[in-house]
């Protein structure tokens, strides 16, 4: 059995056989116990790890992470095969048909000479094939499992296609000030539910501004988080170099001093 699986190279058929074997009687106890729900979060993690490999421009890592993503797809297909649902071939068949239907300018007689025309056709075909009767249906179709910023930006983009949008980037930016005013009033009221509601509106307005500025809200917040971590680490390093107490033992003024100092040092390093 072991010798049979030692090959110079493997293909998709081998992966399907390996997962089937792992899930079969006498296979791996852990793999046998898994369900769609139990490996759900693992699927999300693998996708984000593949995205990180893209961000790092690490092709070797991307190859590895794409394999992990593919394993998740095959694993879910195997679970369905065992339950007489669908199989991997069915998944391949469906995506091929979808691509052919949604690219009539390639596989049909439709003419689309620009990206905007392609996207317009894609949206129209998608609404038709999904049975969506209204623009509201297209908004509801955005997965709730997406990260909140990503979902908000996608919903805003789809609303824009129906004409429901700010006239310009400046108008979108101005809405941030308006929502900030509403948020301040909610904070003054002390009503936690109202505060949460208005803070959500403020965040949504920031996402709309990002969209109008051709920025990805999810990506820029991630970069800001990375920047905060760098500054935090430098602040902690500076405090330690002065032989002071732990950060949580310092006053707010002392922390602000080292925070500003760390910002200045990092900026100088980047120049």
- Residue 132 maps to a domain: no
Q: What is the pTM of this model?
A: 0.69
- Residue 166 maps to a domain: no
Q: What is the mean pLDDT of residues 212-237?
A: 94
Query: Which of 55-64, 68-77, 167-176, 262-271 has the least mean pLDDT?
Result: 262-271
* pLDDT at 32 exceeding the cut of 80: yes
- Residue 253 maps to a domain: yes
- Residue 252 maps to a domain: yes
Q: What's the confidence (pLDDT) of residue 1? A: 52
Q: What is the mean pLDDT of residues 217-221?
A: 93
The answer to whether 221 touches 149, Cβ cutoff 8 Å, is yes
Helix runs in the chain, H state only:
12-23, 29-33, 40-55, 59-82, 88-101, 104-107, 115-129, 135-140, 148-161, 169-189, 192-212, 217-241, 252-270
Domain closes at, from 99, 124, 147: 99
- Residue 11 maps to a domain: yes
Domain count, the chain: 2
The answer to whether 19 touches 78, Cβ cutoff 8 Å, is yes
- Residue 214 maps to a domain: no
Q: What's the confidence (pLDDT) of residue 113? A: 80
Q: What's the confidence (pLDDT) of residue 102? A: 87
- Residue 266 maps to a domain: yes
Domain closes at, from 80, 99, 118: 99
Q: Which domain holds residue 40?
A: 3-99
The answer to whether 71 touches 22, Cβ cutoff 8 Å, is no
Q: Cα 16 to the chain's mean position, in Å?
A: 27
Q: What's the confidence (pLDDT) of residue 271? A: 74
pLDDT in tens, 127-184: 777 777 788 888 988 889 889 999 999 999 989 988 899 999 999 999 999 999 999 9
- Residue 160 maps to a domain: no
Question: Which CATH number goes with the domain that contains 70?
Answer: 1.10.287.1080
Domain closes at, from 73, 99, 125: 99
Q: What is the mean pLDDT of residues 183-205?
A: 97
The answer to whether 80 touches 39, Cβ cutoff 8 Å, is no
């Amino acid at each position: 059995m072991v010798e049979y699986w030692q090959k110079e190279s493997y293909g998709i058929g081998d992966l399907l056989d390996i997962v089937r074997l792992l899930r079969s009687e006498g296979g791996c106890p852990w793999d046998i116990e898994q369900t769609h729900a139990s490996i759900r979060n693992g699927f999300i993690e693998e996708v984000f790890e593949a995205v990180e490999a893209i961000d790092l421009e690490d092709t070797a890592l991307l190859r590895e992470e794409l394999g992990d993503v593919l394993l998740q797809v095959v694993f879910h297909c195997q679970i369905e095969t065992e339950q007489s649902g669908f199989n991997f071939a069915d998944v391949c068949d469906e995506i091929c048909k979808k691509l052919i239907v949604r690219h009539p300018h390639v596989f049909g007689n439709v003419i689309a000479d620009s990206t905007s025309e392609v996207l317009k056709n894609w949206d129209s075909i998608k609404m038709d094939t999904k049975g969506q009767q209204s623009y509201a249906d297209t908004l509801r179709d955005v997965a709730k499992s997406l990260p909140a910023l990503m979902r908000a930006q996608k919903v805003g983009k789809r609303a824009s296609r129906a004409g429901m949008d700010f006239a310009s980037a400046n108008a979108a930016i101005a809405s941030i000030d308006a929502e900030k005013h509403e948020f301040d009033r909610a904070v003054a009221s002390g009503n936690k539910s109202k505060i949460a509601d208005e803070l959500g509106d403020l965040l949504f307005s920031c996402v709309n501004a990002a969209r109008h500025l051709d920025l990805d809200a999810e990506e820029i917040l991630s970069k800001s988080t990375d920047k905060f971590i760098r500054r935090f680490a430098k602040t902690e390093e500076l405090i330690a170099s002065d032989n002071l107490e732990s950060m949580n033992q310092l006053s707010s003024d002392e922390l602000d001093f080292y925070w500003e100092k760390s910002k200045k040092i990092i900026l100088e390093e980047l120049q």
